[in-house]
Chain A
Amino acid sequence: MEKIKQNPIVKKIGFNRVVLCCALILLYVVLCVTTGGKFFGMARIMSALNYAYFLGFLSLGVTFVIATGGIDFSIGPVMFCCALVSGYCFVAHGVPMGLAFVISILVGLAFGCFSGYLVAYWSVPSFITSMAGMNIAKGIASVFTKTQSVSWPQSSQDGGWFRVIVKAGAIPTGLILFLAAAVVCAIILNKTTAGRYILSLGSNKEAVRLSGVNTKKWEMLAFVICGVLCGISALFYVAAYTTVQPGYGDNYNNEAIAGCVMGGTSMAGGLASISGTVIGVFIIALLQEGILALNFDKNFQLIITGVIVIVAVYSDVVARRRKN
């Protein structure tokens, strides 16, 4: 074990991520076998990927918030709110598709600013802003759409071109865009002042403040980044699944957070890994596709993600205890 950990290649990638990659591959093999080969082939993979895109953007966003030591479990409903408001604008008010995109991102941005401001400047616990944000997001979406579900256009319909963000012919554009976004996030987190301060304040906020850093600004920024990514996530959701219904979205919170903590981001803050989050998301997406393929009850997904969150967080706690 120690020997593997000391291997230079493993060290470079990170032991945790190597384990995750192995888990991902193992999961795929197990699914192929248990479904009698039904799982083997592009169709299932593409389907799993569709799920991974929107969930991935949520997970990337929440990684920033968790890095500060905060939490945001309003991301699912906020993402739905973005999709509903912008979709309603397109369907009922006839705004151009491009503008609908912008609206979706702006709605996400607004939610990010809202909770970020409350947490950073008013010291409201992020747990509370999450709960409030979740209700507000659901409420706004319902009021705005008059509690109607919104169907975004099919490929053949007017404005249906937007679906190329997920798949253009045989090219999995969604995968490319998601990975590109992950690279940008990784750069922000590891190479810029923003990332440095976000991680540092997650580890010891008071020490960073006493270094003369405007911690409030950077803490808020983490929520803003998360909000914007929720807005983008909404677009990938509708591009894959077309219809959104007000009042839902909660279960994606846990899945996004599970992907994030599984990837090695610490719930205590200060430690985050974008590549870990990406692999974590793929595992979650594959799991949900697998459960569908095995004809299990969809609710198993809930149980499994719940267990994953606990196992991931507990192993982080153990790792920290050992370090001290």
Chain B
Amino acid sequence: MGEVILTMKEIDKSFPGVHALDHVNLEVRKGEVHALMGENGAGKSTLMKVLTGIYSKDSGTITFEGKEVDFHSAKEAQDAGIVIVHQELNMLGHLTVAQNIFIGREFKKGLRIDDKKMNEEAKKLFDRMNIDIDPKETMSKLTVGKQQMCEIAKAISHDAKVIVFDEPSAALTETEIDELFKIIRDLREKDLGIVYISHRMDEIKVITDRVTVMRDGSYVGTLITKDSTKDDIINMMVGRVIYEDPKTESMVPEDAPVVLKVEHLKAGHMVNDVSFELHRGEILGFSGLMGAGRTETARAIFGADQIESGDIYVNGKKVTIKSPSDAVANGIGYLSEDRKRYGIVVDKTVAENTTMACMENFMNGIFIDKKKEREIAQKYVDDLATKTPSVDQLVVNLSGGNQQKVVIAKWLTRNSDILIFDEPTRGIDVGAKSEIYKLMNQLAADGKAIIMISSEMTEILRMSDRIVVMCEGKKTGEIGIAEATQENIMNMATREIE
């Protein structure tokens, strides 16, 4: 670690009704990867927005390269050398890689854009980073991992001295994360200061030098990573120990009936001849790399996308599923990885979202029985311990974990027996995560059958009774939890890739 490049001192920021940052400190040195941790809502993003001039601070000082600075826009911060790589990628899918990297500052030849020069410059950049991406490729054709590399390349091309990574690994697979870490280490070698925001404890241990922890908008403390344990950090974040050990054996009885059987399912080029069985009371993990076709398989079973061929049996009976309403009628519920887009209606209340999948049970003649609706919603708010002031609260005002609970309540209200959880804890903080896990175990114990798609290996090993592994649209393996290890799953997940 070198000298201090960035200091944020006693930063204070209030919004109407919320004290978002309460005298927070952060110090980043050259050649350091500094983790910024805290539960959702702890104020990490707000702090970074203050740093990059998106929000103005109420008080406190920011010192960058020895001078006090006060940026008024992301552009100013960028020009000074502080760049954020956002969690959601800000790329234009129809443009090429090079065009994306140099957007807003294109090389010109007269009035014409000089694509050739941009491609060359991008190539140089990638060479420097030791990654192999064709600058002329269309952005949308790259994997999420590669797109992220481009985002980083863009940051570097701004001559960044401090790069902030905002949950860069959320959408990446294990191999892509390894590649990302290689790049980050490389940047560290080059004496850049790096702020790394993540929820994943394992990564923090692997990649960072120091950890600053925030809780409820306040600064809790800074640790040296190698001198502290996972539990130390978690305790600072939430003030309680929550990590549990992986599952060692299946909880499903030998004679549990098959509730869902899928045979030779084919849908688009992402789902190719997939067959599996799901038992009552089972949590069936779906593991694989990004783009392995797991979400597509789930969507096909749920009728969200068209099935080309293959059979689906529910409780031994063959069923035809052409639309989500067919699937729902057969007792299947789907909890999407993208709650905001596919799970909840944000402008509606908790109660209204809860009954969304089975309005017909809450009717009094042609009128909606709002009393009954609110009662069931209240019941699930209590059962699932959803944090909301009331069932009349708009869902948009809830945190990610609580929104997820509302979606679960929706399917429980519908009395669905087969639940497909697609990345159930993506973007959910550590505390809420363990609550969701407890809930899923409870549901399985109550006789629901659960398919859990997850890109987090720890999640797969902790929750599943059995694991199906997919690669390139095909099922490449199936393994009981007792035999499963990180290595043999990874092995199966890469089987189809030369």
A30 to chain B minimum Cβ distance, whole angstroms, is 35
Residue pair A213, B357 in contact (C-beta under 8 Å)? yes
**Which listed residue, B327, B345, B347, touches A212 by the CB 8 Å rule?**
B327
A interface bracket (residues with beta carbon within 8 Å of B): 20 to 34
Please provide the chain B residues from 343 to 376 with a CB less than 8 Å away from any CB of chain A in the complex: 343-348, 352, 356-357, 359-360, 363, 366-368
Residue pair B304, A210 in contact (C-beta under 8 Å)? yes
Instruction: Bits for A182-207, please: 1 = Cβ < 8 Å to B, else 0.
Output: 00000100011100110110011011
Is B328 located at the chain interface by the 8 A CB criterion? Answer: yes
**A191 and B345 in contact, given A210-B302, A210-B334, A210-B336 (Cβ under 8 angstroms):** no
Is A208 located at the chain interface by the 8 A CB criterion? Answer: yes
Is A157 located at the chain interface by the 8 A CB criterion? Answer: no
- CA–CA, A160 to B172, complex, Å? 74
B interface bracket (residues with beta carbon within 8 Å of A): 20 to 34
- CA–CA, A199 to B352, complex, Å? 11
Residues of B with C-beta under 8 A to A112: none
Is A298 located at the chain interface by the 8 A CB criterion? Answer: no
Is B242 located at the chain interface by the 8 A CB criterion? Answer: no
**Which listed residue, B344, B366, B368, touches A207 by the CB 8 Å rule?**
B344
Residue pair A204, B341 in contact (C-beta under 8 Å)? yes
B220 to chain A minimum Cβ distance, whole angstroms, is 29
**A213 and B344 in contact, given A191-B368, A193-B359, A208-B356 (Cβ under 8 angstroms):** no
Residue pair B345, A204 in contact (C-beta under 8 Å)? yes
Instruction: Bits for B307-335, please: 1 = Cβ < 8 Å to A, else 0.
Output: 00000000000000001110111000010
Is B405 located at the chain interface by the 8 A CB criterion? Answer: no
Query: Which of A197, A199, A208, A211: most chain B CB closer than 10 A?
Result: A211
Please provide the chain A residues from 279 to 301 with a CB less than 8 Å away from any CB of chain B in the complex: none
Is A209 located at the chain interface by the 8 A CB criterion? Answer: yes
Residues of B with C-beta under 8 A to A203: 345-348
- CA–CA, A271 to B357, complex, Å? 20
* Chief secondary structure at chain B's binding surface: mixed
Is B236 located at the chain interface by the 8 A CB criterion? Answer: no
Is A146 located at the chain interface by the 8 A CB criterion? Answer: no
**Which listed residue, A199, A211, A271, touches B328 by the CB 8 Å rule?**
A211
Instruction: Bits for A288-324, please: 1 = Cβ < 8 Å to B, else 0.
Output: 0000000000000000000000000000000000011
Query: Which of B347, B356, B367, B410: most chain A CB closer than 10 A?
Result: B347
Residue pair A212, B348 in contact (C-beta under 8 Å)? no
- CA–CA, A185 to B422, complex, Å? 39
> Nearest B residue to A197 by beta-carbon distance?
B359
Residue pair B324, A207 in contact (C-beta under 8 Å)? no
Tally of contacts, chain A with chain B, CB under 8 A: 74
- CA–CA, A270 to B356, complex, Å? 14
- CA–CA, A159 to B302, complex, Å? 57
Residue pair B367, A207 in contact (C-beta under 8 Å)? no
Residue pair B356, A192 in contact (C-beta under 8 Å)? no
A148 to chain B minimum Cβ distance, whole angstroms, is 43
- CA–CA, A210 to B367, complex, Å? 23
Is A35 located at the chain interface by the 8 A CB criterion? Answer: no
Residue pair B346, A204 in contact (C-beta under 8 Å)? yes
Residues of B with C-beta under 8 A to A204: 341, 344-347
Please provide the chain A residues from 220 to 242 with a CB less than 8 Å away from any CB of chain B in the complex: none
A63 to chain B minimum Cβ distance, whole angstroms, is 16
A152 to chain B minimum Cβ distance, whole angstroms, is 35
Residues of A with C-beta under 8 A to B360: 193
Residue pair A192, B366 in contact (C-beta under 8 Å)? yes
Is A16 located at the chain interface by the 8 A CB criterion? Answer: no
Query: Which of A193, A209, A212, A324: most chain B CB closer than 10 A?
Result: A212
Is A214 located at the chain interface by the 8 A CB criterion? Answer: yes
Residue pair B368, A213 in contact (C-beta under 8 Å)? no
Residues of A with C-beta under 8 A to B367: 187, 191-192
Residues of B with C-beta under 8 A to A192: 366-368
> Nearest B residue to A266 by beta-carbon distance?
B347
> Nearest B residue to A2 by beta-carbon distance?
B16
- CA–CA, A271 to B343, complex, Å? 19
Residue pair A211, B324 in contact (C-beta under 8 Å)? yes
**A207 and B329 in contact, given A191-B368, A212-B324, A212-B357 (Cβ under 8 angstroms):** no
A49 to chain B minimum Cβ distance, whole angstroms, is 31
**Which listed residue, B329, B347, B396, B410, touches A211 by the CB 8 Å rule?**
B410
Residues of A with C-beta under 8 A to B327: 212
Residues of B with C-beta under 8 A to A324: 396
Residue pair B345, A208 in contact (C-beta under 8 Å)? yes
> Nearest A residue to B343 by beta-carbon distance?
A207
A265 to chain B minimum Cβ distance, whole angstroms, is 13
> Nearest B residue to A200 by beta-carbon distance?
B345
**Which listed residue, A196, A197, A200, A214, touches B325 by the CB 8 Å rule?**
A214
> Nearest B residue to A205 by beta-carbon distance?
B345
Residue pair A211, B357 in contact (C-beta under 8 Å)? yes
> Nearest A residue to B330 by beta-carbon distance?
A212
Instruction: Bits for B43-83, please: 1 = Cβ < 8 Å to A, else 0.
Output: 00000000000000000000000000000000000000000
**A271 and B344 in contact, given A210-B304, A212-B327 (Cβ under 8 angstroms):** no
B153 to chain A minimum Cβ distance, whole angstroms, is 30
**A270 and B347 in contact, given A210-B324, A210-B336, A213-B356 (Cβ under 8 angstroms):** yes
A9 to chain B minimum Cβ distance, whole angstroms, is 19
- CA–CA, A199 to B343, complex, Å? 16
- CA–CA, A213 to B355, complex, Å? 11
A26 to chain B minimum Cβ distance, whole angstroms, is 30
**A200 and B356 in contact, given A191-B368, A212-B325 (Cβ under 8 angstroms):** yes
A145 to chain B minimum Cβ distance, whole angstroms, is 39
Residue pair B328, A206 in contact (C-beta under 8 Å)? no
Query: Which of B343, B348, B410: most chain A CB closer than 10 A?
Result: B348
Residue pair A212, B328 in contact (C-beta under 8 Å)? yes
Residues of A with C-beta under 8 A to B356: 200, 207-208, 211, 213
Residue pair A193, B324 in contact (C-beta under 8 Å)? no
- CA–CA, A211 to B325, complex, Å? 7
Residue pair A206, B342 in contact (C-beta under 8 Å)? yes
Residues of B with C-beta under 8 A to A214: 323, 325
**A196 and B324 in contact, given A204-B344, A210-B304 (Cβ under 8 angstroms):** no
- CA–CA, A207 to B323, complex, Å? 13
Residue pair B346, A213 in contact (C-beta under 8 Å)? no
Residues of A with C-beta under 8 A to B342: 206-207, 210
Please provide the chain B residues from 406 to 452 with a CB less than 8 Å away from any CB of chain A in the complex: 410, 414
Residues of A with C-beta under 8 A to B345: 200, 203-204, 207-208, 270
> What are 7 A-B contacts defined by CB distance under 8 Å?
A187-B367, A193-B363, A204-B347, A210-B342, A212-B324, A213-B356, A324-B396
| A interface residues, Cβ below 8 angstroms from B | 187, 191-193, 196-197, 199-200, 203-204, 206-214, 270-271, 323-324
Q: Top 6 A-B pairs ranked by shortest CB distance? A: A212-B328, A203-B347, A211-B357, A212-B325, A211-B356, A270-B347
Given contacts A192-B366, A193-B359, A213-B325, 18 further A-B pairs with CB under 8 A are A191-B367, A197-B359, A200-B356, A204-B341, A204-B345, A206-B341, A207-B341, A207-B345, A208-B345, A209-B324, A210-B334, A210-B342, A211-B328, A211-B356, A212-B329, A214-B323, A323-B396, A324-B396
